[in-house]
Amino acid sequence: MIHFNRPHMTGKETEYIRQAVLDGKISGNGEFTHRCQDYLAQRYGFGKCLLTTSGTDALEMAAILTGVGPGDEVIVPSYTFVSTALAFIRCGATVVFADSRADEPNLDAAQLEALVTPRTRVIVPVHYAGCACDMDAIQAVADRHGLLIVEDAAQAIDSFHVGAGGTRRALGSIGALGCFSFHETKNIISGEGGMLAINDPRLFRRAEIIWEKGTNRAEFFRGAVNKYGWVDIGSSFLPTEIVSAFLWAQLEHLDEIQAERKRLWQRYWDFLSGLDLPAHGISLPRIPAYATNNAHMFYLLFPDLARRSDFIAQMKARDILTVFHYLPLHSSEFYRARHDGRALPNCDRYADTLVRLPLYCGLAPDQDTVLAAIREVCGLAPRQAAEKGQRAASTALGGQ
C-alpha cells in the first residue's frame, strides 16, 4: 500500500525526547521550546514565536488576541479546515465566508472589499497548499478599513510571498499574527503541535500571558517579576518539552526535508505536465508569480465529482491512497443556517474536484508507481513535443 502520508523521522527525535526526560523539565517552556521558538523567529523574521499544542490552538490564541466578540465580523475563506473559522466563532464573532479564486483555491482578494462592513474586524487569509494568497491586495483592503490580518499558515512553513520589487516575506510574518501547524501531515512535524507568530509588538506581552493560562508566569521564570498571578484570560496552550524535543529534531533537518519534498513535487510536475491532461479536463496546481512553492502538497483538479470519485476508487484498487480535501464550511451542517446565502461557486468546485496525491519524504522509490497508475487510470497520452516546449517556457513554479 502506498499511503497518502507517512510521518518522516530524522533519527534524532527519540534521542532528544530522552534528553528532555533526563533533564527533568518536561512540562513545557524549557530548553527545547526556546530553541525552536528562537530558531523560527530568526530564520523567518517573525516578531515573537510561541509554540502551541496544535495549529488549532494557535488560531484560538490569535482569535483571543484580536479582541473580537459578539457583533464583530471576521472574513474567512470557506475552503479551509474548520479550525480557521471555529476559533473566531468561539469568541462570539460572526464569520463571513469568502469564495476561492477561479484559478486556484486561495481566497479571492478581488472580491474581498465587497465583504467588508462597519462590523468587520479581521481578515483571515489561508495559504492553501503552502501557496501565498495575494497579500499585497489583502493588505491594501485591510489598511483602507483598519482591519487586522491573521494568517492561517498551517501548511505554509518555509514558504514566502514575493511583493513589489521582488521582496520576499515569510508567510506568517505579514499579518499581525500567523498560525502554523506541525501535525504529522505537514512538512515539519511533531505529531500534534503548532505555533503562533506574533508580529505586532503591542501583542507580545498579552500573547505570552494567554499562552500561560492567563498568568504572567513566563515573566516570573525570566526574573522580570518576583511573583506571578492571574492577570488575564488564557488556557494551557504551550506543548510539553517532549513535543518540542521532537520538533527540534525536525527543524535541524528542515532544509533536507524541504529539498526532498521539492524533488518529489517537481517529479510530479515534470511527468504530468508532459501528458495530455487538458483533453481529459484535468488540470495541475497553479503557483502565482507572488508565491513560492514549499511543496506541501501536489493536487489534481478533475472536471466533476464523478470523475474525481472514480479516480480515487481506481487508485485505491491499485493500493494507492489519494484523498479529497475540505468540504465547504458555508454549507456545513453546523453553519449553513447562519450563512448569508451567497453562492460560493469556486469553493464548491474545489470541494468536488480537487484530489491530493501522495507526497512525503520517503516516497521516491514508489513515485513512479503512482505516476504510472495515474496515467493508466486517466487514460493519458503524451502531448506533442511542440506543446511541451511552449509549456516549459511559460511554467511558473514560484521561486522554490
SS (H, E, C) 296-342: CCCEEECCCHHHHHHHHHHHHHCCECCECCCCCCCCCCCCCCCCCCC
pLDDT at 384: 62
**What are the tens digits of pLDDT across the range 226-240?**
778 999 999 999 999
What does the pLDDT read at residue 164?
83
pLDDT band at 386 (very low <50, low <70, confident <90, very high): very low
Q: What is the pTM of this model?
A: 0.94
**Residue 64 pLDDT > 50, yes or no?**
yes
Tens digits of residue pLDDT in 89-128? 999 999 999 999 999 999 999 999 999 999 999 999 999 9
- Dmax over Cα atoms in the chain, in whole Å? 74
**Considering only CA atoms, which of 231, 143, 150, 154 is closest in space to residue 198?**
150
Mean pLDDT of 26-54: 97
Half-sphere exposure of 26 (CA within 13 A, CB side): 11
Total Cβ atoms within 10 A of residue 88: 28
pLDDT (average), residues 65-76: 98
Give which of 358, 333, 328 is closest to 344, Cα–Cα.
Answer: 328
What residues contact residue 49 under an 8 Å CB cut-off, 6+ apart?
36, 37, 38, 40, 41, 195, 196, 197, 198
Average pLDDT, the chain: 94
SS3 content of the chain, % helix, strand, coil (to 5): 40, 15, 45
- What the block records as the C-alpha cell of 282 is 484535468
pLDDT value at position 396? 42
Q: What is the mean predicted confidence (pLDDT) over 149-163?
A: 98
Retrieve residue 147's grid coordinates.
482591519
Taking the C-alpha atoms of residue 233 and residue 280, their distance in angstroms, rounded to an integer, is 54
- 320: which residues sit within 8 A by CB, 6+ positions away? 1, 2, 358, 369, 370, 373
CB atoms within 10 A of CB 212: 25
The alpha-carbon radius of gyration of the chain (Å, integer) is 22
Question: Are the C-beta atoms of 96 and 340 separated by less than 8 Å?
Answer: yes
Q: Are strands 354-356 and 299-301 parallel, antiparallel or unpaired?
A: antiparallel
pLDDT digits (tens, 9 = 90+) for 349-362: 999 999 999 999 99
Q: Which domains, ranges and CATH numbers included, belong to the chain?
A: 13-251 (3.40.640.10), 254-394 (3.90.1150.10)
C-alpha distances out from residue 300 to 63, 353, 358, Å:
33, 8, 11
Distance from C-alpha of 8 to C-alpha of 246, rounded to nearest angstrom: 11
Distance separating alpha carbons of residues 236 and 214, to the nearest angstrom = 9
Q: Comparing C-alpha atoms, which of 323, 283, 235 is closest to residue 52? A: 235
Q: Which residues pair with 311 in a beta bridge?
A: none
The mean pLDDT of 181-203, rounded to a whole number, is 98
Q: What local confidence, expressed as pLDDT, does residue 156 receive?
A: 98
